[in-house]
A and B are shown apart, each in its own frame.
Chain A
């Protein structure tokens, strides 16, 4: 930042305005005159300093506005009552304007503040004392009740309807002596009730409301046998905050021993009562245990007296004047005690800190090198090095701390937001903030702002009910949102909890079912937390049904993404009707993260521990091992199957894994070839709520690494999150867990079938899957014709006659044994076999396979067909073995017959050649020119056409095609696009230029969407995908006008 006087002014003014706003909000709630004056004084100071600075620098408009605000406030300084809502509103509006002027200082003079000024001046003048409502009676109220008093709040509510309770004190009686038993401890409420009614009236009134205010029952509340949850509810009723041991309760996960933090605005503030609660105790046993007051003051002196300038009850004004008002309160209660006001600090540019950080990193390295160099050397140098060692470590800590800021800086903006939001929505909201002193790295803090804002909005908007609804469901009319921060294990846990309606698990469940994310049976097993995590999915976020019922969801996926970008996590818990809690866990800092150091090959990599669940070590001959499914490796971990990603393969393969890559990896790592000596290390990692295993060569240990971002030019590389320097001075890369999961496509979903729309790697078309059935032959099928490969247990095969079936995906699938249809060797049956499910075949069939061999590039080895055998398209020498290319269409027609295979063409019943009707309509058999550079495809498609009764001439590229066009007379040209010499585009253009009117069809593996425009441009009449037999034949027929004619014939 440019260090000009103006820049300083902006920075300072921001602070002044923040303080000002805080004070104003506190003023709204301040009840006692002292607290009020404190608030007003503090806001006056802030605005006055701002005014002075602005005047000094010549920003007159700012100065004028600040002055006007000051005048209004001055007017209220010596009043006994707080300024009415309208005044506060106007002042806040003005301070907003001030803030926008300061952010845009250059144009501050051009702001039109005349209306604001007018309003403020009117307030300043007209602020003449309103008629004070002097109450008739002041009644001393003195109540004793056992702790925890469920009835305190209803009682206070009743008192409030009668008048205003002032100078009230809520104290605990005999805490010291009665700690042995909760039921003996008492609360004493003392205060003065200012009311227009008589004492008798008050008493009668209170006894009338006996149902809600157990006036006569006071002192007789049964609380023995209370468990922690009930205790929580009771304490919540006194608006205290109970923080309890994790896993004790179902709702939320605070981490400290029980702390009752009475952050309430209704009751006098008291020293915090800490109740040590042993986590080993069963909840039922908690109460009889002695309660240890941890706080010294509580233990020694009963806190009868609290400082008199603390606010007491300050809800009357708001509650009576404006039922929609809210009470929001930072824990730093009055502005006077607010720690931020006292902040005295140096302003240091962040880049300087960053540089310092870098230098410390360098120093750490030098230290490490020195340690190595002096290893084993005794003497004075050793002591020096050790000193260097410790000082460096301390320095590193200190520098890291300079980047830390209390979360209070972030929380500070929420009271205002909550106040405005509550007013806008007609709700009563109390915001309680806890743990504002917890520190977080500056960058983390900045990035948390949006997610938190969103979550709080969500809580207020959807979670909290309107006061009417709340009263109807026996809750206090004021809803409470608790924002708490705690630090634990290098993480900061931020919890947003509300006591609203919570999430309806059934609604979520229904939605999960409706979206088909889980089956009913699967849903039975998952925990409620897992269930709630579904609302974080993007699909849920827009689903109004869920958010209407449960009140959650809009934009939650964005929150989750933001949090995950911070290496953090978000969990949700909810109790329907009671409330919900959202827990954010973020690292203290992004600059240094604990990592697991692993090796792959010769390189070391750092894997952030945040995503690490556990490390599985597979010993040779051990019980568990890596299993193979149809296209991926799986690890069975306590009966859960996790996809396994080989880090080495993820590093080696530059493009995202496709089916082919996966099969190749499978083939390379077949269980049979496994090195029996090798120990496999699998890191179980968490990515986007799912787990996968990452197989590495070795695990070296853990280290705290200083993260440096990836070089800007290499940001596209998704599998790394950054780089770091290791102790020996070498650079190591930091793995990006999500990126690896994505790269390896380990939760890959099968693309929808027949999707000519999907862009596919052209190379994939030219790859074939090699497999065996019998012992002798090697078979091949192009990968594009393979839908997937399924492992099947042969004892599950069912027979109808001699036809074998197995159920796959709920569909009874016909098993093709190749030896039944082709003249090939038979296979020895083993208990587990593979079933190859072909693509482009509508009927459920699978080819039985005894072994998947590998995938192989086709173009390099293929030879022209040398065996004339039905069902075999041709042969090739692959890996020095004669390989048979299967004709799937032949097999299919052998089984289902031609008619069914072409069921899409409506009336076709007979073979074209053999049909006298069709023959009659055609003078000659249609003649097709087929142009394709790949011998295999030429052969496949030629057979398709010939079997359908066409005459086919083939050409090997565009130039050859042009020659053939000149020689013969064709009814249709079917051409590949990607060809050497002259490609399909050029070929078609050249043919059109030369005046050929023959219809042209493009037959390609290119995406239809991207290329159809170009196809039309070049002069093509049709566009079809390779190897989809039915579509191709239908299209060809349409283009030849055969289908239409047949239909006429049929009539």
Chain B
């Protein structure tokens, strides 16, 4: 039982480590050239052309309201499978390694992370203890609903 492990693809945003289940990812691309979409919520960076397919790029830092520094440019986009949601991806700063976490190191208790990440409508799925840091596991299925909600009732 304790040998069971889950693979996560990790990435960095604003200096923090995040991860999503590896099986949800279609591809990771370096193409982050966005066309801004007026009227879309703040956390939508825009449309990205990935080999003729138009992908909606969301900005993780803006979704989580993480501090954005000048030098932090989103260098990669994590594109999800269509089972997660239609044609969308998450813009992140850096791509990390793929980690295997055994189930005993995974907790759904989110008290150990910063207050700003709590209460993101279930976006934070789990917390994993890695040897030298904590990995915040996100549920990518919760990303698009955040956008839709934002469009109906803007927070600002």
Residue-wise interface mask of B (24-67) relative to A, using a CB-CB cutoff of 8 A (1 in contact, 0 not)? 00000000010111111000101111011110100000000000
A733 at the interface (CB under 8 A from B): yes
Q: Which residues of A contact B44 (CB under 8 A)?
A: 714
Identify the interface centre among A361, A365, A654, A713: most chain B CB within 10 Å of its CB. Answer: A713
A731 to B147, CA, bound (A): 20
Q: Which residues of A contact B148 (CB under 8 A)?
A: 713, 716
Cβ 8 A contact of B47, one of A652, A712, A719, A731 = A731
Q: Which residues of A contact B87 (CB under 8 A)?
A: 711
Q: Which residues of A contact B17 (CB under 8 A)?
A: none
A652 to B37, CA, bound (A): 10
Residue of B nearest to A361 (CB): B52
B99 at the interface (CB under 8 A from A): no
A731 pairs with B86, CB closer than 8 A? no
A1039 to B88, CA, bound (A): 59
B88 pairs with A713, CB closer than 8 A? yes
Q: Which residues of B contact A729 (CB under 8 A)?
A: 33, 49
Q: Which residues of A contact B39 (CB under 8 A)?
A: 651, 654, 717, 719-720
A719 pairs with B38, CB closer than 8 A? yes
Residue of A nearest to B33 (CB): A730
Residue of A nearest to B34 (CB): A731
B154 at the interface (CB under 8 A from A): yes
CB distance from B125 to the nearest CB of A (A): 20
A731 pairs with B40, CB closer than 8 A? no
Identify the interface centre among B46, B51, B88, B147: most chain A CB within 10 Å of its CB. Answer: B51
Q: Which residues of B contact A421 (CB under 8 A)?
A: none
Q: Which residues of B contact A359 (CB under 8 A)?
A: 52
B144 at the interface (CB under 8 A from A): yes
A765 to B48, CA, bound (A): 40
A752 to B39, CA, bound (A): 29
Q: Which residues of B contact A563 (CB under 8 A)?
A: none
CB distance from B107 to the nearest CB of A (A): 30
Residue-wise interface mask of A (714-741) relative to B, using a CB-CB cutoff of 8 A (1 in contact, 0 not)? 1011011001010001111100000000
B52 pairs with A712, CB closer than 8 A? no
A732 pairs with B35, CB closer than 8 A? yes
Identify the interface centre among B40, B47, B86, B87: most chain A CB within 10 Å of its CB. Answer: B47
Q: Which residues of A contact B73 (CB under 8 A)?
A: none
Q: Which residues of B contact A788 (CB under 8 A)?
A: none
A725 to B148, CA, bound (A): 24
Cβ 8 A contact of A713, one of B36, B51, B53, B147 = B147
B98 at the interface (CB under 8 A from A): no
CB distance from A739 to the nearest CB of B (A): 10
B147 pairs with A714, CB closer than 8 A? yes
A708 pairs with B37, CB closer than 8 A? no
A725 to B87, CA, bound (A): 15
B52 pairs with A714, CB closer than 8 A? no
B35 pairs with A711, CB closer than 8 A? no
A716 to B53, CA, bound (A): 21
A654 to B152, CA, bound (A): 11
B151 at the interface (CB under 8 A from A): yes
Residue-wise interface mask of B (101-135) relative to A, using a CB-CB cutoff of 8 A (1 in contact, 0 not)? 00000000000000000000000000000000000
B53 pairs with A714, CB closer than 8 A? no
Residue of A nearest to B146 (CB): A713
A714 to B86, CA, bound (A): 11
CB distance from B9 to the nearest CB of A (A): 22
A651 to B36, CA, bound (A): 11
B154 pairs with A725, CB closer than 8 A? no
A725 pairs with B147, CB closer than 8 A? no
A362 pairs with B51, CB closer than 8 A? yes
Residue of B nearest to A717 (CB): B39
How many residues belonging to A are interface residues under a CB distance threshold of 8 Å? 25
B51 pairs with A711, CB closer than 8 A? no
A713 pairs with B56, CB closer than 8 A? yes
CB distance from B90 to the nearest CB of A (A): 13
With A361-B52, A725-B52, A733-B35 as given contacts, are A714 and B46 in contact (CB-CB < 8 Å)?
A: no
With A731-B47, A731-B48, A731-B49 as given contacts, are A711 and B38 in contact (CB-CB < 8 Å)?
A: no
Residues 596 to 653 of chain A near chain B (Cβ within 8 Å):
603, 651-652
A652 pairs with B38, CB closer than 8 A? yes
CB distance from B52 to the nearest CB of A (A): 3
A713 to B144, CA, bound (A): 7
A733 pairs with B51, CB closer than 8 A? no
Q: Which residues of B contact A714 (CB under 8 A)?
A: 37, 40, 44, 56, 147, 151
CB distance from A331 to the nearest CB of B (A): 41
Residue of A nearest to B151 (CB): A716
A224 at the interface (CB under 8 A from B): no
A825 at the interface (CB under 8 A from B): no
Cβ 8 A contact of B49, one of A358, A711, A717, A725 = A725
Q: Which residues of A contact B40 (CB under 8 A)?
A: 714, 717
CB distance from A759 to the nearest CB of B (A): 14
Q: Which residues of A contact B56 (CB under 8 A)?
A: 711, 713-714
With A651-B38, A651-B39 as given contacts, are A730 and B88 in contact (CB-CB < 8 Å)?
A: no
Residue-wise interface mask of A (83-119) relative to B, using a CB-CB cutoff of 8 A (1 in contact, 0 not)? 0000000000000000000000000000000000000
Residue of B nearest to A714 (CB): B40
A729 to B35, CA, bound (A): 11
Q: Which residues of A contact B151 (CB under 8 A)?
A: 713-714, 716-717
Q: Which residues of B contact A358 (CB under 8 A)?
A: 52-53
Residue of A nearest to B46 (CB): A731
CB distance from B45 to the nearest CB of A (A): 12
Residue of B nearest to A605 (CB): B38
CB distance from A951 to the nearest CB of B (A): 42
A362 to B50, CA, bound (A): 10
A603 pairs with B52, CB closer than 8 A? no
With A361-B52, A714-B147 as given contacts, are A731 and B38 in contact (CB-CB < 8 Å)?
A: no
B54 pairs with A723, CB closer than 8 A? yes
A362 pairs with B52, CB closer than 8 A? yes
A729 to B36, CA, bound (A): 14
Q: Which residues of B contact A719 (CB under 8 A)?
A: 38-39
Q: Which residues of B contact A730 (CB under 8 A)?
A: 33, 35, 49
A708 to B85, CA, bound (A): 17
Residues 319 to 363 of chain A near chain B (Cβ within 8 Å):
358-359, 361-362
CB distance from B144 to the nearest CB of A (A): 5
A603 to B35, CA, bound (A): 8
Residues 672 to 716 of chain A near chain B (Cβ within 8 Å):
708, 711-714, 716
B52 pairs with A720, CB closer than 8 A? no
Residue of B nearest to A743 (CB): B39
A712 to B54, CA, bound (A): 12
Residues 544 to 584 of chain A near chain B (Cβ within 8 Å):
none
A980 to B87, CA, bound (A): 43
A415 to B12, CA, bound (A): 65
A708 to B49, CA, bound (A): 12
CB distance from A726 to the nearest CB of B (A): 9
A716 pairs with B35, CB closer than 8 A? no
A708 to B39, CA, bound (A): 18
Q: Which residues of B contact A725 (CB under 8 A)?
A: 49, 52, 54
CB distance from B96 to the nearest CB of A (A): 27
A716 pairs with B152, CB closer than 8 A? yes
CB distance from A472 to the nearest CB of B (A): 59
Q: Which residues of B contact A731 (CB under 8 A)?
A: 35, 46-49, 54
CB distance from A710 to the nearest CB of B (A): 9
Residue of B nearest to A725 (CB): B49
Q: Which residues of A contact B54 (CB under 8 A)?
A: 708, 711, 723, 725, 731
Q: Which residues of B contact A362 (CB under 8 A)?
A: 51-52
Cβ 8 A contact of A603, one of B36, B49, B53, B88 = B36
7 pairs of A and B residues whose beta carbons are closest in the complex? A362-B52, A651-B38, A731-B47, A731-B35, A711-B56, A717-B39, A716-B151
Contacts A365-B49, A733-B47 known; 8 new A-B pairs at CB < 8 A:
A651-B39, A654-B154, A711-B56, A713-B56, A713-B85, A714-B56, A723-B54, A732-B35
Q: What are 12 A-B pairs at a CB distance below 8 A? A: A654-B38, A654-B39, A711-B54, A711-B56, A711-B88, A713-B85, A713-B88, A717-B37, A730-B33, A731-B47, A732-B35, A733-B47
* Interfacial residues, chain B to chain A (CB-CB below 8 A): 33, 35-40, 44, 46-49, 51-54, 56, 85-88, 144, 147-148, 151-152, 154
